[in-house]
C-alpha cells in the first residue's frame, strides 16, 4: 500500500512540476511577444507618438486602446492595398509602407496587442462649430455598429470612436462619402461604412455628428 501511495504521490508531483514548467514557458512567450510588440511600435512613434495619442501635423489618428482585432485588420488592409490604395488617399498612402514593415502574422499580432494595451487619452476638440444636439439624431444610424456609447463592437468590425480626434473622424467620414475609402471590392467592412457616411448630407452634418461623438467622451 505504501508503495502505491508513494507512486501516486510521485506521479502527482511530476504532473504538477510539468504544469509549472508549461506555465513558465507560456509566461515567457507572452513576455517575449510583449517586448516584440514594443520594439515593432518604434516604427510607429514618429506619427502616432509614443503614447499612441496621434498627431494632427502628420494626420495620424489616436490608436491607443483600440481593440487588437481592429488594429490587426487595418494593418492587413494597408499591407494589401485594400485601404490606402486610392491615389487620392494621401494620408492612407503614408501608412501603407509602414504596414509592409510588419512581415508576419506574429508581428502584426504583437504590435496590435501592444497598441491595445496603451491607455487612451482625451482628444482636444478642434471643430468648434458642430451642433451636438443635431448630431445626436444623426448618430442614431451609427449605434447599431458603434454602440450608443461609441465603444464599438468587435463582432461587427466596428472600432471604438471614443478618445479619437475630431479632425480625424471628419476626414474619414469624407473619405467614405467620396469613395476614397471603402470602395475597394476587398474591403468588405469599409463597404459597410460607406452608405452610412453618405447619409450625412453636407459638411455641417459631418461636423454635427462628430461633435456628438466627442460629447460621448465626457
E strand residue ranges, the chain: none
70: Cβ contacts below 8 Å, ≥ 6 apart: 152, 154, 157, 159
Contact 165, 123 (CB under 8 A): yes
198 known ligand binder: no
- CA-based torsion, 170, 143, 113, 65: positive or negative: positive
Q: Taken in order 38, 42, 45, 47, is the CA torsion positive or negative?
A: negative
Residue 31 is assigned to a ligand binding site: no
Beta bridge partners of 158: 153
Does residue 196 have a known ligand-binding role?
no
Cell of 33: 511577444
82 assigned to a ligand binding site: no
CB count in 10 Å sphere of residue 23: 10
- Is 48 assigned to a binding site? yes
98 is in an annotated binding site: no
Tell me the DSSP string of 99-124: HTT--SHHHHHHHHHHHHTSPP-PPP
Q: What is the DSSP letter of 186?
A: T
Closest residue by Cα to residue 123 from 208, 54, 209: 54
44 belongs to an annotated ligand binding site: yes
Any known ligand binding at 1? no
Binding-site residue numbers for heme c are 44, 47-48, 95, 142, 145-146, 193
Binding-site residue numbers are 44, 47-48, 95, 142, 145-146, 193
Amino acid at each position: 500500500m505504501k508503495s502505491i501511495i508513494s507512486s501516486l504521490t510521485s506521479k502527482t508531483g511530476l504532473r504538477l512540476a510539468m504544469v509549472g514548467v508549461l506555465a513558465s514557458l507560456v509566461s515567457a512567450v507572452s513576455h517575449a511577444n510583449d517586448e516584440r510588440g514594443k520594439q515593432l511600435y518604434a516604427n510607429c512613434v514618429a506619427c502616432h507618438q509614443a503614447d499612441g495619442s496621434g498627431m494632427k501635423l502628420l494626420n495620424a489618428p489616436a490608436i491607443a486602446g483600440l481593440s487588437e482585432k481592429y488594429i490587426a485588420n487595418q494593418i492587413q488592409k494597408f499591407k494589401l492595398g485594400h485601404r490606402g490604395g486610392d491615389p487620392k488617399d494621401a494620408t492612407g498612402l503614408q501608412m501603407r509602407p509602414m504596414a509592409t514593415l510588419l512581415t508576419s502574422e506574429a508581428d502584426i499580432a504583437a504590435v496590435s496587442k501592444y497598441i491595445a494595451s496603451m491607455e487612451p487619452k482625451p482628444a482636444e476638440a478642434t471643430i468648434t462649430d458642430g451642433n451636438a444636439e443635431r448630431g445626436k439624431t444623426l448618430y442614431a444610424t451609427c449605434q447599431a455598429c458603434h454602440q450608443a456609447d461609441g465603444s464599438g463592437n468587435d463582432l461587427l468590425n466596428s472600432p471604438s470612436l471614443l478618445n479619437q480626434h475630431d479632425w480625424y473622424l471628419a476626414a474619414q467620414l469624407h473619405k467614405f462619402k467620396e469613395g476614397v475609402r471603402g470602395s475597394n471590392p476587398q474591403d468588405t467592412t469599409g463597404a459597410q461604412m460607406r452608405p452610412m457616411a453618405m447619409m450625412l448630407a453636407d459638411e455641417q452634418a459631418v461636423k454635427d455628428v462628430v461633435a456628438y461623438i466627442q460629447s460621448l467622451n465626457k
